[in-house]
């Protein structure tokens, strides 16, 4: 029985791990606390392209188009603005320009 609980615990933790995509910086999307929340509709079919334009306008640096991926089990069941949606946004700025994005709240993996 202990082995079953241990395996269940390990598999849950594995499901919540954020996939590593090389030198990407990541942002764990929130329900309404993201800095681009007013300007970029997260439900838009063009979300990634709109976010790309927004980030470039705020930092002055182009990035490879952002990628948003769902992380199973990472969504938080709450309604506050800082609650995580379960989506992770990956951006790929030039290494010499990463500090601007880190200052915005993106983080290294």
Average pLDDT of the residues in 68-82: 90
**CA dist., res. 28 & res. 82, Å (int):** 10
**CA dist., res. 2 & res. 92, Å (int):** 42
Helix spans in 2-104 (H): 2-15, 47-59, 98-104
pLDDT at 2: 44
Q: Which residue has the tokens 């609650």?
A: 83
- The string over 62-90, giving b where at least 16 C-beta atoms fall within 10 Å of a residue's C-beta and e elsewhere, is ebeebeeeebeebbeeeeeeeebbbbbbb
**CA dist., res. 73 & res. 79, Å (int):** 16
pLDDT at 64: 80
Q: Is the pLDDT of residue 93 over 80?
A: yes
Q: Is the pLDDT of residue 8 over 50?
A: no
**CA dist., res. 79 & res. 54, Å (int):** 25
Average pLDDT of the residues in 77-98: 92
User: What pTM does this model have?
Assistant: 0.78
pLDDT confidence tier of residue 62, bands split at 50, 70 and 90 = confident
């Amino acid at each position: 029985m202990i082995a079953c609980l241990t395996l269940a615990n390990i598999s849950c933790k594995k499901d919540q791990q954020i996939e590593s995509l090389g030198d990407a910086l990541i942002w764990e999307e929130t329900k309404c606390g993201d800095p681009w929340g007013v300007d970029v509709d997260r439900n838009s079919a063009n979300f990634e392209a709109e976010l790309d334009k927004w980030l470039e306008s705020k930092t002055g640096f182009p990035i490879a188009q952002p990628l948003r991926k769902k992380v199973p089990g990472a969504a938080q069941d709450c309604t506050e603005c800082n609650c995580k949606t379960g989506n992770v946004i990956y951006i790929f700025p030039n290494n010499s320009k990463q500090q601007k994005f880190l200052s915005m709240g993106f983080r290294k993996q």
